[in-house]
């Protein structure tokens, strides 16, 4: 599980996927999110700009990202 430490109050989903190295670019993030391949806290998320906060868990292709402060 990849851990992302927040510098602000939140991080957007597309940014989190890039920061964790799960996608190469924002365009890649956009397409995998639009295709319904990403889950946030167990639910499919279709918004690239979804704000993630402390404790949120992102899943993509068996990889997980945990958002912490």
- What does the buried/exposed string (b/e) look like for 14-43 if buried means 16 or more CB atoms within 10 Å of the residue's CB? bbbbbebebbeeeeebeebbeeeebebeee
Say which residue, 56 or 1, is predicted with more confidence. 56
Q: Is the pTM above the cut of 0.85?
A: yes
Model pLDDT, residue 38: 97
Domain extent, residue 62, equals 2-68
Model pLDDT, residue 64: 96
Averaged pLDDT, 3-27: 94
**Domain of 34: which CATH number?**
3.10.290.10
């Amino acid at each position: 599980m990849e851990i992302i430490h927040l510098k602000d109050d939140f991080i957007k989903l597309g940014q989190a996927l890039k920061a964790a190295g799960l996608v190469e670019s924002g365009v890649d993030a956009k397409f995998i999110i639009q295709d319904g391949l990403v889950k946030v806290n167990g639910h499919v998320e279709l918004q690239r700009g979804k704000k993630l906060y402390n404790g949120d868990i992102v899943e993509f292709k068996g990889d997980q990202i945990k958002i912490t402060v």
